[in-house]
Amino acid sequence: MNEAAGSAARRPEVTGFYDRRTSSIQYVVTDPATKICAIIDPVLDFDEKSGATATTSADAILAHVADHGLSVAWILDTHPHADHFSAAQYLKARTGAPTAIGARVVDVQALWKGLYGLPDLPADGSQWDRLFAEGDRFDIGGIEGRVMFSPGHTLASVTYVIGDAAFIHDTLFMPDSGTARADFPGGDARQLWRSIQAILALPGDVRLFTGHDYQPGGRPPLWQSTVAAQKRDNAHVVDKTEAEFVALRQARDRTLPMPKLILHALQVNIRGGRLPEPEANGRRYLKFPLGALDGAAWG
């Protein structure tokens, strides 16, 4: 195989779906030769004012899959999200594809089951079909994926490197937005720095796909960069030492309120995207631990 053919063989097609309610990006990653794909970080819609859930975002992904004649091989979450519910279980029910997440989700489950007072919640990762460890490999058609452990934003965060594309979740944002926060329970700015350095050690032309975009300056949403662009332009990383980054990240995090859905979302996402079971009256209920998190915004 010549070099050009080899490069094409490892280059997946990536389609991003931007969710304006949570500024999240969901991805369909496809091997164009086989039409086999993976879905990464799908959103189950939730309206906190009414308590309503919907599948509009996930159904748009399913429509894309159907319209392009794709077969879903994996439903992947990069970490237990704090700002939206995962649609992994909904999509599994409709595609039959297995779900997966990083193996250290068990640490996140153990932490949050204590905060929520859920002694019966299994904290063994059994809510997913596969738990990925550092270096694990998987296939999307003829394109190989591998797993990089990328903690810092959460204890369980992983990066999926699929061909020449890396799905870097809440580590680096677009270069004009810097990096993700590291002050959630289990987060650590020093670990985040080291995870970022591992990502930036990938070849310069590797495409990087981030998990959020908050549209600084009102620009349109963006979610694709490269290793080279991040090393050249990211304001939180360029010319910084580890100590300087940690000081910058911690100072910025002290100014940020907690995400408005963190207490809603984690109790769903530590269950692999499953809503709580209905109670005797047929209704499902979310449970809130009062006073569990710092970061109240009273102003």
Name the one residue in this structure whose structure tokens are 């990464």: 40
For 242-253, give one letter per residue: b (16+ CB within 10 A) or e. eeebbebbeebb
3-class secondary structure, 129: coil
Closest C-alpha among 37, 33, 39, 35 to residue 58: 39
Q: Domains in the chain, ordered, with CATH? A: 10-263 (3.60.15.10)
pLDDT class of 9 with cuts at 50, 70, 90: low
CA distance 227 to 205: 6
Per-residue confidence (pLDDT) for residue 292, from 0 to 100: 86
CA distance 210 to 166: 9
Indicate whether 4 pLDDT > 70: no
Per-residue confidence (pLDDT) for residue 5, from 0 to 100: 41
Spatial neighbors of 275 by CB under 8 A, at least 6 apart, are 53, 85, 268, 284
Per-residue confidence (pLDDT) for residue 171, from 0 to 100: 97
Spatial neighbors of 244 by CB under 8 A, at least 6 apart, are none
**Contacts from 118-127 at CB under 8 Å and sequence distance 24+?**
118/267, 118/287, 121/270, 121/271, 125/101, 127/270, 127/271, 127/272, 127/274
3-class secondary structure, 25: strand
3-class secondary structure, 280: coil
pLDDT class of 295 with cuts at 50, 70, 90: confident
What percentage of the chain exceeds 70 in pLDDT?
97
pTM (2 d.p.): 0.95
174-224 pLDDT per residue, tens: 999 999 999 999 999 999 999 999 999 999 999 999 999 999 999 999 999
Inter-residue contact 197 to 179 (CB < 8 Å): no
3-class secondary structure, 203: coil
Indicate whether 240 pLDDT > 70: yes
Indicate whether 120 pLDDT > 70: yes
Per-residue confidence (pLDDT) for residue 208, from 0 to 100: 98
- What average pLDDT does range 153-164 have in this prediction? 97
Closest C-alpha among 141, 216, 150, 154 to residue 183: 154
What percentage of the chain exceeds 90 in pLDDT?
92
32-89 pLDDT per residue, tens: 999 999 999 999 999 999 999 999 999 999 999 999 999 999 999 999 999 999 999 9
C-alpha distances in angstroms, 157 versus 80, 127, 202, 291?
Answer: 8, 17, 18, 25
Name the one residue in this structure whose structure tokens are 């020093």: 190
- What average pLDDT does range 6-30 have in this prediction? 89
- What average pLDDT does range 150-164 have in this prediction? 97
pLDDT class of 297 with cuts at 50, 70, 90: confident
Name the one residue in this structure whose structure tokens are 């600084």: 216
Mean residue pLDDT of the chain comes to 95
